[in-house]
Structure 1
Amino acid sequence: MKKSKILVWFACIMLLTGCDEDRFKVKTKKRKVDVTKRFRAAAPLTKASFKTLVMSAKKAAAPPKRRPVSRPSSQATSRATSKVVTKKTTHAPQETPPKNLYLRASAGHVEAIRALGVVSSGLYAWSGGDDRTLIKWKLPALTPVKTLRSTKGRVRAIAVGPTGRRMVTLEGEGHLSLRDADGRVLRSSESPVALSGMQFARLDNKLLAISKGGELLTFHGTSLALQARVKGCPKGGATALHTDRFQALVAVVCGDGQLWLSTYDGKVNKLLKTKKKILGVSIAPDGLHFAVSTEDAAITVWKVHSKALDVQQVARGYGHVREANVLHFSRDGRTLLTAGVGRTIALWKVTAKALTLQRYLQHEGAVTGAFFLPDNKHILAVDTASNVRLWKRNGESAKTIQGPKIRSVSMSFSADGLSLTTADQRKIFSIWDLRKGQRHIVFGIHPNHLIRVQHAFDAKHLLAVDPDNAVFWDLKQRRTIDLIRPPVNDTISAAALGRDWTEVLIGTTQHGVQLWTIRGGPTRIYRHRKPQGVTSLDVHALSRRAVVGTMEPKIYIYNLQQFQLLKEIDLSKLTPKPPKGLFVRLVRMSSDGKQFVVLAGRQAWVLSTKDAKVLATYQHTATLHSAAFSSDGTMLALGSSDQQVHVMSLGDKKITTRLSGCRSTVGGLVWSAKHPVIVGACHNGARIFWHAKTKQSIVAIRPLGKTDWLTYTKDLSFAGSAGALKHVSFSNGTKTFPLTAFGGRFFQPTKIQKIFQTTFPPRKTQTP
């Protein structure tokens, strides 16, 4: 073998074993080959570097060639060139991409997980949630096998069949889908009423479901035909359902706090009412005991004495700080698992007359589902923080798939409209150059997640707010000008800039609102009549009017120039009247300061700033999270949990169009004053740009940590940093491909840059 080939193979070994040499070049007869070429994480991916990755992926996926028997000639040997694999992939490059292809940057869920189902063999589990995705997990490795997407709405419940070969998913309010073991839809059916839960009967081919009207419905397990419908809860809807594996007992938790017990044939029924409202139920494997959780965070175990459903309380225990609504017995019935909104899982030892607390398992969010695996040694749990965790029974964490830690959705355009600041992740906010379509400044100083970022009118300063600090930045020199802290034992819940980067109005959870002067400290403290947390606020700098929303829920209108309260509005007295328990989620003022919008639950009100008169209302079917006025104040964009943006004409008081593209809740919205562009911040980290006139999706940007970023279009043409390749992949529901899988068909940095230049042409800045 020649010396040049020996050196090439030696360099390959050094590369694969993690050699720290920065450069190792090998001389051949024709040219030099750089065998350890690495890409800088922060540098944009170029056409040449992407071509190198594609060629490397092709060689890694190609089958090995057979060595010829005859020795090759010296002439053929001299023409051979050295090739080096710089990145391996397990997927072969595709000529034609599959249908329904989309970009995916997370292996798990990006929003709250609401449903969990475990196959009887314990080898696989399914989870679904608010992001409309259904993921199949391999156990106990807890690796995602398949990712499917629901087209009917959020996945609210999963019922796995006794054999594990089929399952039924509840999507939206009442859409039932019968799926096989790989998740393919075999049959679909619409329930006549809205459902809240379901479970497969273990012995016969039946599917039990409960409705929000308090009914128990029985469906055929294969055809999904409705076979029976019984009214169980006299008042309110049904919230939880459970039946034992012998089908001797059915328990339904009613919305009024009662427990409806029934034999499987429905001949004997009984209502159990306790002093405290019942929230959850689980029947032991023997069918003779069941456990319930109540609103006082207590867990009680009951025994069924006869076929007449005579019950007696045998044990009671306290171990949760807040109420628990998830309960599950182990296969032997000796251990009880309880969990709920307190972010903890409690394990109890169950005996004939006692309930003993053994240990706690800590979660980051409210636990929405938890099961003992069939081996009785592991526990699988999911929560609202998008985490999937596999626990050992002794309390050790075996594996965790974490969701997005912080879903910061705040954004702000600069005064010239050519820069966009986004609050990306914990401690990070980024500034994007919209003329080039690249992220060029990253700040990572904040100690906590950011709740708002706002540009000053001079385009040189920026306000970044977290619960502990409100920092005023000089963007040109990249240094802080002033640091604002809340009162002792209090946190900042909202903030906004006042008079042209000289004032900041902050809202706190206990002390109302405070007006600060940059480099001058607090100048005025506005205290409400009684302590109530501020949830949102906004300021119109020219008129110096401020609108503040609270938890109560109430709206306060302030005159910052004269330091006085102008108006106090009680949302409970508005029309339509909001349900009890709601709070003001968001308040935003129009650019002229004459009107503002208030979001609470599924309702939106547009009110006049002068006299608090209701100008327009909107009732949605999903929770509203964000809002933005157009520059002329005639249009209003509303983002909701249905993953859409609803654009409303305030003159006609009607929804004119719906913008789609987010694959999660639209948590933030900004409407550019300089360009006809609406930007929506999705909870999965993407920022979607829509054209305000054509109502079409233009482009999307996605920060991927401190060093990497990605930009892409609706047809999946993309560009970004070199490190983005390790974060994002193509997915069509059943298969996942790396970005190099299609030979550079989608890598179009020139096209992406041209789209940004066309959408954001340079304009002269007009300082107000």
Structure 2
Amino acid sequence: MAGQVRAIAFGPGGRTLAATSTEGPVRVWDTDGHLVAVLPAQTADARAVAFAPDGRTLAVAGTDGTVRLCDPAGGGAPAVELAGHTGRVDSLAYAPDGGALVSGGADGTVRLWDPVAARQSAVLAGQGAEVLAVAFAPDGRTVASGGVDRTLRLWDVAGRRTTMALTGHNDDINAVAYTPDGSALVSAGGDGTTRLWDVRGGRALATLAGHTDYVLGVAVDPGGTLLATAAFDQSVVLWDLRGPVLTARPFTEVWQAAYSPDGKLLATADADHTVRLWEVAGRRVAASLAGHTEAVFAVAFSPDGRLLASAGSDGTVRLWDVASRTELSALTGHGGIVYAVAFSPDGRLLASAGSDRTVRLWDVASRTELSTLTGHTDFANDVAFSPDGRTLASAGDDLTVRLWDVAGRRPLATLRGHAGAVRAVAFGPDGRTLASSGNDGTVRLWEAPRSWAAATSATVLSGHTGSVRAVAFSPDGKWLASSGNDRTVRLWEVAGRRPWAALTGHTSAVWGVVFSPDGRTVASSSNDGTVRLWDPDPRARQAEICRLDAGAEWPKNSPACTF
């Protein structure tokens, strides 16, 4: 399906699925993945879809202010058009018996429709601003609505009036849903929270804080035991509704992984604000390090393995004592998100890069900032020290790789060639080769026969079909690994400058890739919430060794794993 998916809805029994897109009409599939129907062109860029309870009609919210009732089987019957909204229609819901349809729109109104007679039944005015979400109570007597005015309103369907206004969200209300018994209502907010309300008593029951960005969707399972929330932070969180305390079952992206120098530990940077330490041999979480207040994007071990550095959305770089699993210091100075950290080979310096367009050097012993390196004109995404520690490379959204003289704290060279943002950099162990990757889908190898000030791009490696998010050399320099949005990890033979293998298994973008210190394993970290360990040996079939599930904090067995 081309374009950005706006909304999805399952048909009764879960046998069909409808989806809207920014670049085409509504499409309907069966759950085996077969396309069932393509609806009329007027349904393009719809903001919401809803199946009638009998599955025979699909309501589509139009950007032209029209609600269209379509045949989801694509039988060719023209859509019935319900006109009344004076702006975009943002939300739709059928009553449980199918006898009524409710819509909310940019005109600030909630409208009730008789879908059988194809006419408007009532206009419920009072929301005061754009209505982004509507839902019928299970008994069909009440409608809930929420929107830009940050207020959740309950409407008596028969009386056509507001019965309750619930406040608490600090931003738009993007979605609402009732629990199956109708006793509670769930609302999702642009403030990053999901709120649970007692609809009989008109009070807040709980505020669920687990996302790092707008919460866009909510769904309660038919048994009323689980709540699913989806957010702009690209995560889905499952909440256990049983008992007095709601607990999260997070599905969390893993942004990066790093091996300890002895290869016994693997650290992961996770979107749920946590740094996790995994015992590689036991395939289990040895410790969860809490301290960051937002998503963690980067981790790096010191060369002696005693320290671990982490960085993330909260703008801090944190240092941890690996043995005691305690935080030593939070380094502040960046004016935004910190995307990357790297220790110098002697362990005395720490480099960081962030959205404030700067690269910063820190003295590890004193925990103080030594220098701010400026030059990037957009986000700085990654940093890497050369093996001798004299040169620092950085990657930026400004399409450049920049090289810095570490001792002199000055720029050496700016490498241009990528046609998109540069996401990652890595030096080869010989110190004469530098790899970079970016949004243009390529990996580039740069060479410096004499000096990095005169570096040249010798080879462009193509094969990825999307942004390449990470690169890493094997310890012996014979192999290069890359990973990207196309869900693959790719291995390249460095000497021959040729592709060797594409490792598949991840179900979403692969943010990070790293070789183990002995070069016998490649670890990849992904938006699918897992770290996967691969055998990179070119003499064997490249295979997944194991999968580590960061969200659940326990490993999932794969055929090649023994626990």
**Could you tell me the TM-score, scaled by structure 2's length?**
0.65
> In structure 1, what is the Cα distance between the partners aligned to 2:31 and 2:370?
68
Q: Is the 8 A contact 2:113 2:122 kept in 1?
A: yes
Tell me, yes or no, if structure 1 residue 412 matches structure 2 residue 259.
Answer: yes
> In structure 1, what is the Cα distance between the partners aligned to 2:376 and 2:466?
33
1:282 maps to what in 2?
Answer: 92
> In structure 2, what is the Cα distance between the partners aligned to 1:388 and 1:438?
27
Tell me, yes or no, if structure 1 residue 599 matches structure 2 residue 438.
Answer: yes
Give the structure with the larger strand fraction.
Answer: 2
Q: Which amino acid aligns with 1:329?
A: F
Q: Which amino acid aligns with 1:261?
A: V
> In structure 2, what is the Cα distance between the partners aligned to 1:656 and 1:494?
28
SS in 2 for 1:382: strand
Tell me by how many angstroms 1:410 deviates: 1.8
1:465 maps to what in 2?
Answer: 310
Tell me, yes or no, if structure 1 residue 502 matches structure 2 residue 311.
Answer: no
2:110 maps to what in 1?
Answer: 301
> In structure 2, what is the Cα distance between the partners aligned to 1:528 and 1:273?
51
1:560-571 alignment runs, 5 A limit: 560-566=406-412
What are the ranges of 5 or more consecutive residues in structure 2 without an aligned counterpart? Answer: 71-76, 168-186, 188-194, 196-206
2:104 maps to what in 1?
Answer: 291
> In structure 1, what is the Cα distance between the partners aligned to 2:404 and 2:83?
53
Tell me by how many angstroms 1:469 deviates: 3.8
Q: Greater RCO between the two (CA within 8 Å, min separation 6)?
A: 1
> In structure 2, what is the Cα distance between the partners aligned to 1:243 and 1:709?
38
Tell me, yes or no, if structure 1 residue 159 matches structure 2 residue 7.
Answer: no
Tell me, yes or no, if structure 1 residue 537 matches structure 2 residue 383.
Answer: yes
Tell me by how many angstroms 1:624 deviates: 5.1
1:345 to 1:356, Cα distance in 2 relative to 1, 3 A: same
1:524 maps to what in 2?
Answer: 371
Tell me, yes or no, if structure 1 residue 370 matches structure 2 residue 218.
Answer: yes
Tell me, yes or no, if structure 1 residue 680 matches structure 2 residue 524.
Answer: yes
**Per-residue displacement from partner, 1:673-727 (whole Å, max 9, x unpaired)?**
6434322345545541313312433743759999x987977344x24xxxxxxxx
Aligned counterpart for 1:386 among listed residues 236, 246, 254? 236
1:91 maps to what in 2?
Answer: none
Q: Which amino acid aligns with 2:535?
A: W
Q: Is the 8 A contact 1:390 1:397 kept in 2?
A: no
More divergent stretch after superposition (221-230 vs 359-368):
221-230
Tell me by how many angstroms 1:509 deviates: 4.2
Q: Is the 8 A contact 1:699 1:712 kept in 2?
A: no
1:534 to 1:272, Cα distance in 2 relative to 1, 3 A: farther
Tell me by how many angstroms 1:622 deviates: 6.2
> In structure 2, what is the Cα distance between the partners aligned to 1:474 and 1:523?
24
Tell me, yes or no, if structure 1 residue 214 matches structure 2 residue 24.
Answer: yes
> In structure 1, what is the Cα distance between the partners aligned to 2:221 and 2:547?
40
2:175 maps to what in 1?
Answer: none
Tell me by how many angstroms 1:494 deviates: 2.2
Q: Is the 8 A contact 2:545 2:560 kept in 1?
A: no
Tell me by how many angstroms 1:485 deviates: 1.0
Q: Which amino acid aligns with 1:370?
A: V
Q: Is the 8 A contact 2:275 2:310 kept in 1?
A: no
Tell me by how many angstroms 1:636 deviates: 3.4
Q: Is the 8 A contact 2:379 2:397 kept in 1?
A: yes
Tell me, yes or no, if structure 1 residue 335 matches structure 2 residue 143.
Answer: yes
1:483-502 alignment runs, 5 A limit: 483=329, 485-487=331-333, 492-502=338-348
> In structure 1, what is the Cα distance between the partners aligned to 2:33 and 2:285?
57
Q: Is the 8 A contact 1:215 1:230 kept in 2?
A: yes
> In structure 2, what is the Cα distance between the partners aligned to 1:227 and 1:559?
60
SS in 1 for 2:250: coil
2:249 maps to what in 1?
Answer: 402
2:268 maps to what in 1?
Answer: 423
1:259 to 1:565, Cα distance in 2 relative to 1, 3 A: farther
> In structure 2, what is the Cα distance between the partners aligned to 1:456 and 1:498?
8
Q: Which amino acid aligns with 1:689?
A: W
> In structure 1, what is the Cα distance between the partners aligned to 2:432 and 2:48?
47
**Could you tell me the TM-score, scaled by structure 1's length?**
0.50
Residue identity (%): 14
Give the structure with the larger helix fraction.
Answer: 1
SS in 2 for 1:402: strand
> In structure 1, what is the Cα distance between the partners aligned to 2:252 and 2:516?
28
Q: Is the 8 A contact 1:686 1:703 kept in 2?
A: yes
> In structure 2, what is the Cα distance between the partners aligned to 1:312 and 1:636?
64
1:25-104 alignment runs, 5 A limit: none
Q: Which amino acid aligns with 1:350?
A: W
Q: Is the 8 A contact 2:525 2:531 kept in 1?
A: yes
2:501 maps to what in 1?
Answer: 657
CA-atom RMSD, angstroms?
5.3
Q: Is the 8 A contact 2:400 2:418 kept in 1?
A: no
> In structure 2, what is the Cα distance between the partners aligned to 1:551 and 1:618?
20
Q: Which amino acid aligns with 1:159?
A: F
1:546-625 alignment runs, 5 A limit: 546-550=392-396, 555-566=401-412, 574-575=418-419, 585-591=423-429, 592=431, 594-600=433-439, 603-606=441-444, 608=446, 613=457, 615-616=459-460, 618=462, 620-621=464-465, 625=469
Q: Which amino acid aligns with 1:638?
A: S
Q: Is the 8 A contact 2:544 2:560 kept in 1?
A: no
1:262 maps to what in 2?
Answer: 68
> In structure 1, what is the Cα distance between the partners aligned to 2:422 and 2:343?
20
**Per-residue displacement from partner, 1:245-300 (whole Å, max 9, x unpaired)?**
5889754356xx5555334442555899977xx584214535464113x6xxx964
1:638 to 1:269, Cα distance in 2 relative to 1, 3 A: farther
Q: Is the 8 A contact 2:351 2:362 kept in 1?
A: yes
